[in-house]
Structure 1
Amino acid sequence: MPSVVGPIKINSVGGGVVNFGDSFYLSPKSASKTSSGSGAFNTGDFICTNNGLNSTNVSDPDVADQNTTANA
């Protein structure tokens, strides 16, 4: 279905994706994985995190989660 896009000004795009009009096929150009323990990504001024015993499983039995080899 056709679309009409009016005047647009983009000053900067950092780590994002911008699509205009119709999109037939979208695929990721990069992929990453992060493993961390509980309470690791907390942000704020006054954080009190009581976790006790913690264990993070970082094994990946299927190896490939999101392939990007065929993307141009």
Structure 2
Amino acid sequence: MLLLSLQWEEKVANGGPYKHDPPNPMYPPEERKKREKGEEEEEEEEEEEEEEEEEEEEEEEERKKEKR
């Protein structure tokens, strides 16, 4: 048990080997990283979509002004 706790260095106040929950052996670290990156990519895509929508709205407003 001590060897496992050395990987995470920090111990919980109650003396447990992990500060947070132990890593899930069903998902290797590589997959966890991919999942986290995937979530970040989704957030970036949403931000890009919002920016595109704002640009489109600005273009529409400019067109309306030109027509007047």
TM over 0.5: no
Radius of gyration: which is bigger?
2
- Name the TM tier (shorter chain): under 0.3
Greater relative contact order: 1 or 2 (C-alpha under 8 angstroms, separation 6 or more)? 1
TM-score by length of 2: 0.21
